[in-house]
Each structure stands twice: as C-alpha cells, then as structure tokens.
Amino acid sequence: MAAMAAALRGLGGRFRWRTPAVAGGVRGAAQGAVAAQLGRKVAVVDYVEPSPRGTRWGLGGTCVNVGCIPKKLMHQAALLGDLIRDAPHYGWEVAQPVPHDWRKMAEAVQNHVKSLNWGHRVQLHDRKVKYFNVKAGFVDEHTVRGVAKGGKEILLSADHIVIATGGRPRYPAHIEGALEYGITSDDIFWLKESPGKTLVVGASYVALECAGFLTGIGLDTTVMMRSIPLRGFDQQMSSLVTEHMASHGTRFLRGCTPSQVRRLPDGQLQVTWEDRTTGKEGTGTFDTVLWAVGRVPDTRSLNLEKAGVDTSPSTQKILVDSREATSVPHIYAIGDVVEGRPELTPTAVMAGRLLAQRLFGGSSDLMDYDKVPTTVFTPLEYGCVGLSEEEAVAHHGQERVEVYHAHYKPLEFTVPGRDASQCYVKMVCLREPPQLVLGLHFLGPNAGEVTQGFALGIKCGASYVQVMQTVGIHPTCSEEVVKLRISKRSGLDPTVTGC
C-alpha cells in the first residue's frame, strides 16, 4: 500500500482511496488511527503554514507543537523557579537568586516536541495510516488536492472526509505594526532567544498562561487587556487568577487597547495604547509583543465551497450536527475548527474516536460535550468542571443555588511562608436536597490533577451529600473539596483552620 502510494505520487499523484481521508493534527490522527484499527484504509494530510514570523512545525497539531505540551513544560519551568525559592526553607542550601537561561529551556522543550512529531509519524506508520505532508483543498465533495512543499500536486479521494484543521492565532491586523512586529503563541515556544521584556495583549487563557510562565522565569511581563480576564469562565475565579499573578510580578494594564506598534532604532518595540478608563494615551517599550487576542479557524485555504460545506458567517467555523456531520453528509468536522465546540485536545480526541466508531465500528454513541473539565495553567492553576456560579444563577435563579466555598492553605506553602491568599475552592450546587453538584472550581497547585477525578463524580451526577460522605485524603489540597461546609449564603468566614 505504501509502495503503491509512493509510485502514484511519482506520477504526479493521482490517488484513489477507497475509504476515509483525514486532515489535521492530533485530533485527525486519533480519528484516523481508530479508523485504521477498525480495518479501514485511511490517509491523513497535514500541513503547517508558517506563521508570519516564519515559525513552522511537524505532525501533531496545535497541542503538541504550539499549545498544551510546550505550554505545560514552560509552566513547569516557571513553577520550578518558585520551588527553588522554597528550597532553602526546607533545608536545601541553594544560593539565590538563580538565573534562568531561556535557550536551554527552549531547546529542551523543542526537542521534546520534535520527539512527539516523530512518535506520531511512527504511530501512523505502524497503524498503516497513509500520511501526506501537503496543504489540502477541496476539488469536489469527495476529492481533495494536496500541494506539497515543493509545489507538487496530488489528488486524493475518499468515501468519508473529516476536517480537523484546527485554528491559528488571530493577528489584530487593524493595529499598525501588529503583523510586522508582533508574535503569537505560534512563535513563543520556538524562539531561540529569550523574548525579554514582553507585552502580552489579550485576556484569554493563552494570554494569561504565557504571561504567567514568562513572569515565572524572571522576565519583565505586562498583560494588556481591553476588559475582563478569561471571558466565559467563572468571573470570581478569574479575578483570583489575575490577582495572584499581579501579586507575583506580572503587570496588568486593564481597560487598555493598543493602537500602534513601532520599531525603535535599537530594535525594541514601542507600543502606543489608549486607556479606555481615562481616555489617555500610554506608551511603553518592550522587546517582544505577543498577541493573544483569539484564534481563527483554519478554513480559508480549504475551498470549502467546492465541497458545499457550510460555515458560520460570523466565525467562519464549520457548522456540524450532533454527529459531527457538516452540511455535506459524508464530510465531518471535529476539533477547534468546529462552531460551538470547546477548543480542547481531549474533546477533539474523544469526538474523533467516537466518530470513527460510528462510521466503521457499528457504534451509535455520540460525543457528549457537557460537563467537560478543564484547567488554566496560570502560575496558580485553576481547574473547573460544570457551571460557573453566574451560569448556575442565571439558569436556576439565586434562590435555588447554594455555593459552598473555602479559602485553604496548601501544607507545602507553610514552611516557606508562601502567600495562599488566592488558594480557594467553591462548589456550586442546587439548593434542593440532595443538592446536585452543578460545578466545581478549584484554584491552587496541581489543579488539573485535583479536578479530573471530580469530573468523573460530576459525570455520575454526584450530589453535595455524596461529596460530604467522601472521606478525604490527608494531607492534600484536593481534600478541601470534600470538606466544604461553609456556604456563601451563611456569610460565615470560609477560611479553613486547623489540621
């Protein structure tokens, strides 16, 4: 099969494939891999258009290359900075301060990502999924034309097609100098040299996570946001997240919007902005400007109209139904490219696998996008699942909602005297017995590890009564969830005391 594909490629590349062709990163690969496991003939096409700065990367998609993976590793590097400062309190004779070398970290992170690119290539090969590194666009609803880096074209046709092209960071093109002088999350993880003094523009988790680790490794970092942080997330929790960052070295310029970026003779960037509160103009000088103002679906070069696939007029994301089917019955879409879906790796992976099972495995299980847990890996991490407090109140009414909460102090913070002011957890429940848990919000160390298991509980319809009946594991931060007893309504002090 591989040999035949190669021969055909040499012929200028017309292929006929009997079964699915899949486009995209990790999600597409997962889906393709499952389809292949079900005995189908599968191909994956993947192509990375270089960023405006020229950054490119290998197979695996956003998560592997310019998302979750490098983000978490750099976040870990930043956390180590704090732990190195803790260490003397625990008896370790580490001379302080300890300098950080960006290049060493970046090289290690980039090498790991490259090993994952390779790992994905090997996996596809082992599962007999054909892989083409081509930029694909529809010719008709069953056929795709791929253009390889050299310009060579191939044609691929398939019975079923899955679009999983994801998204790319948005450039605020209306801001003078934005494109020429700014970078995005596509670039930050691949920089060979330190970004230096950085202005991060945006209020998304991408903005805050990047600003967080940049601050943590010792760089002068400013976050500029137009209005509220983490739109869509619980706002009380979002405030605590940024409050923690502000008290740990990140500068915030709230209510500001940039109007211009210029390059100064010495190479630094001068940014001009408007402070919407005062109406005044502000300027600042930075080494790097990182735009984190949202992402756009990667659909423009797909020629979707040739296939008849509909997209949302406002977002350009692909419209699908509950079976992930587009307006064309045999064309599906999953992941970040889809309208109304969470932009998360695990949902894309699960949706992809379930789709393959429905197409080829005789299953009828649909993807459930409800109660999907997630974690924001800011310096103090925020894990959540279910409804925010405001969503719950909007949906059920204040009177029918009970919120239990606690300010706690991680044991490991005590010895080094770390500030635990924002270590906080709240559980949003229905007030009516047995008090169904609607949402859980945890701010603290290892928030992802804490939240995952509770997501299972919430999936099982856990009630507050059941939470109270669950014995804690001591000493941990996660036990604070099952020890929640103080309601907001009571007005009592929610600070946890004592062993």
Interaction of residue 461 with its own copies, rule CB under 8 A: yes
Does 10 carry a binding-site annotation? no
Q: Does 478 bind its own copies (CB under 8 A)?
A: yes
Helix axes of 102-126 and 68-86: crossing angle, nearest 10 degrees: 140
Q: Is 203 annotated as a binding residue?
A: yes
Nearest distance, CB of residue 213 and its own copies, angstroms: 11
- In the window 96-155, what residues touch its own copies (CB under 8 A)? 98-106, 108-109, 112, 116, 119-120, 123
The strand ranges marked E within 173-300 are 198-201, 221-225, 251-254, 256-263, 269-275, 281-286, 288-291, 295-297
Euclidean distance between CA atoms 317 and 341, whole angstroms: 10
Q: Which of residues 120 and 160 has its CB atom nearest to its own copies in the complex? A: 120
How many angstroms separate the CA atoms of 285 and 218, rounded? 18
> Does residue 100 carry a catalytic annotation?
no
Site for its own copies in 346-375 (CB under 8 A): 346-347, 350, 368, 372-375
The nearer residue to its own copies, 258 or 373, going by C-beta atoms, is 373
Q: Which C-beta is closer to its own copies: that of 143 or that of 288?
A: 288
Q: Which of 148, 482 has the CB closer to its own copies?
A: 482
Nearest CA-CA partner of 144 in 299, 497, 134, 27:
134
Handedness of CA 321, 326, 332, 338 (dihedral sign): negative
On the CB side of 17, CA atoms within 13 Å amount to 27
Which listed residue (2, 4, 90, 398) binds its own copies by CB under 8 A? Answer: 90
Question: Which string of x and - marks every residue 181-220 that binds its own copies (by CB under 8 A)?
Answer: ------------------------------------x---
Return the residue of 303, 466, 488, 496 that touches its own copies, per CB under 8 A: 466
Q: In this structure, are strands 21-24 and 42-45 parallel, antiparallel, or unpaired? A: parallel
* 470 makes contact with its own copies (CB under 8 A): yes
Using CA atoms, how far residue 340 sits from 112, 166, 201, 436, 481, in Å, is 32, 13, 24, 26, 30
Which of 2, 415, 419, 493 is close enough to bind its own copies by CB under 8 A?
415
Closest CA to 30 of 144, 116, 120, 160: 120
Q: Does 393 bind its own copies (CB under 8 A)?
A: no
Q: Which of 333, 356, 450, 484 binds its own copies (CB under 8 A)?
A: 450
39 in contact with its own copies (CB under 8 A): no
Q: Give the nearer residue to its own copies in terms of CB position, either 126 or 153.
A: 126
Q: Cα–Cα distance between 441 and 22 in angstroms, integer? A: 36
Q: Binding site: what residues are annotated?
A: 72, 202-209, 294, 336
Active-site annotation, residues:
474
